[in-house]
Structure 1
Amino acid sequence: MQVSVEAALRRGNLLLKSVPIGLFLLCLLATILLGSLKVIPAWSMAVGLPAGMVVAWLWWSVAVTRWRIWSFTHVRNINELMDLAVNDKLIWAESSWFGRTEIRTRAQREMLQQLAFRMEVDDEVRDDPAIPDRTCIPYSTVYHVVLLIMWLPLLGFGTYMVRGTDAPPWSAFLVIAVGAWLTFDAARKLRDRSPRITISREGITLARKGAFAWGDLWDEQVITIGSGKSSRTVLKFHDASSGVQEVDIDDLKTSKTGLRHALKIHRYRWTLDQPAVGGQVPRS
């Protein structure tokens, strides 16, 4: 049964991210619990951190090969999948030393060698009627409502500092100023329903940056930069005249998967409008 690239990525995120994180936390919490109950020596609790890391890495090293084989036998666009898997940090790039930590049996190595020809097959793109002629992406309502709920108490706390505490006036006014700005910014974006990103068969239009035609663009990516609380998800592409363009999408009404799909379909529609080269026409 053939599955989509998106479904394969979801499976990869479960096997190669969620499970290792769960195993790491389980090892860490187990040693802390057993140490607090004096089942193991107290110093053994310090072993939980490195033990969890080793167990999580071993799981990834074994599971990643199984996921690769499953993907090669179930996914049509294997080149797209492997590129996105590297971007999403499910697997390491071919040039990375860490890729050598994948654990493979002899049978698995032989199977991957037999399936290697799949990387030579061009990816296939088909139009998706569910994607409209223009994909307009505004600010996310839910995201900014949550921000308002977070920042309004900060504004109230600053007011309380002025009247109900002995805190220095400058510190209270600083809290009020920060709270007021954050609240105003969230409210402004909540009311702004204009599209921040518009994608069509003509190209990509970014608010305050203008339009970029498909013919001048290459290497469109939706990637997560950084890790943990400092991570952010961005739309990134190269433009022939203005260079690299990058826009955060964390506060927009879209998802990494949805935006990637929209970019692929709209660019494909643009290729259909281009003159045939060498008597060939794009596949539909």
Structure 2
Amino acid sequence: MKVNKNISVKQAIIRGQLMVNVPAFICLLCAPLAMFYVVHLFNLPERLGITGVFLGIILAWISWSVLITKWRIWAFTNVRNVHALKKEAILSMLIWEDGTSFEKTEYRSKKDKLILKRLDKKFLQKDLIYEDPNVPQETKIYFSITTAFFIVLFLSTGVTSGAYLMFEEKNTDFVIGLIMFTICLFILTQTFKKLINRKPQLIINDKGITLSNNTFVSWSEIYELEILREGFGNSAQHYLKFCDSNYNYSKIEIDSFNLSIRKLENNLQTYQIRYNNNNKV
């Protein structure tokens, strides 16, 4: 395999999306269409068309499990910062966390396993990190107005629909309406609080991190800083987690912020570099 050490993390992720996810999506989409076409062509029972959905899922998963291993070998061979690559691949939902049931479905031949085991040695070296000159002296992060607004709008429809089911004339769906009304109203209340909250949820600079309760934590007191993804698919949530010098852990949900996860991670990295440069002995 020809090795190109100039491949960036971003380039590797884009290639992974094209190499792995596109074929899987094609299988997921084309299998049901092909099955429905066959059903109509030969005048078969329409219920047989549903099997195309399951066939598409199976073919998509087989495609992913084979191609993701090929991508892993290429990407971890050609990218220098393997820690950043792995983290970005997980955030992009290209690969799964180590040890999960989904990660174990990747197909790896004996040769693949040997190559990946050899590539594991690259994780013994630290990533090369650089300061981003475009990051401002200080970053104030707020709840995203746009995200909160659309969630409030969607939940308001749920509350209205629930109320309608509760008090419609026939009153046949009262229980369903009550459950929908209660759940949507509760989530709506929490989201509306974020919509009207214009207080910074995080303030980050080269001195440290200030939390929403005005607690300041210096970079010298921050350990095990990482961005985590918990859950699967569209229900997955991302958190900023770190430990202070008193072994107190902070875990902050960051999906509702007005700064993207990748920019947040980039800014955190830059501020840490600036702190280290300013405090060299």
| Band of TM-score, shorter chain | 0.7 to 0.9
Letter in 1 for 2:196: R
Q: Which amino acid aligns with 2:13?
A: L
Please tell me the residue identity of whatever aligns with 2:272: R
- Partner of 2:238, secondary structure, is strand
Alpha-carbon distance between aligned partners in 1 of 2:122 and 2:244, rounded to the nearest angstrom: 31
Partner residue in 2 for 1:90: 94
Write the distance in 2 (CA, Å) between the matches of 1:243 and 1:197.
Answer: 17
Match of residue 236 from structure 1: 241
| CA gap 1:247/1:117 in 2 versus in 1, 3 angstroms | closer
What is the Cα deviation at residue 266 of structure 1? Answer: 1.5
Report SS of the residue matched to 1:135: strand
Check 1:135–1:59 CA distance in 2 against 1; reply closer, same or farther (3 A cut).
Answer: same
Partner of 1:279: none
Equivalent residue for 1:132, pick from 119, 133, 136 = 136
Identical columns (%): 24
Alignment of 1:99-118 (within 5 A): 101-103=106-108, 118=122
Task: Give the structure-1-normalised TM-score.
Answer: 0.73
Q: 1:100 to 1:166 in 2, by over 3 A?
A: closer
Q: Residues of 1 paired with 2:55 and 2:181: CA distance?
A: 46
Query: How large is the RMSD of aligned CA atoms in angstroms?
Result: 4.0
| Residue among 218, 225, 231 paired with 2:230 | 225
Residue type matched to 1:80 in 2? Answer: A
Q: Give the structure 2 partner of residue 31 of structure 1.
A: 35
What residue is the counterpart of 2:148 in the other structure? 144
Q: CA deviation at 1:250?
A: 1.9
Name structure 1 gaps, 5 residues minimum: 277-284
Alignment: residue pair count: 274
The alpha-carbon distance between structure 1 residues 162 and 223, as it changes in their structure 2 partners (threshold 3 A), is closer
Secondary structure of residue in 2 paired with 1:233? strand
Pair 1:253–1:41, CA change in 2 (3 A):
same
Q: 2:64 aligns with which of 47, 60, 63?
A: 60
Counterpart secondary structure, 2:225: strand
Residue identity in the other structure for 1:151 = L
Q: Which is further off, 38-47 or 191-200?
A: 38-47
Unpaired stretches in structure 2, ≥5 consecutive residues: none
1:77 shift after superposition: 1.3
SS of equivalent to 1:221: strand
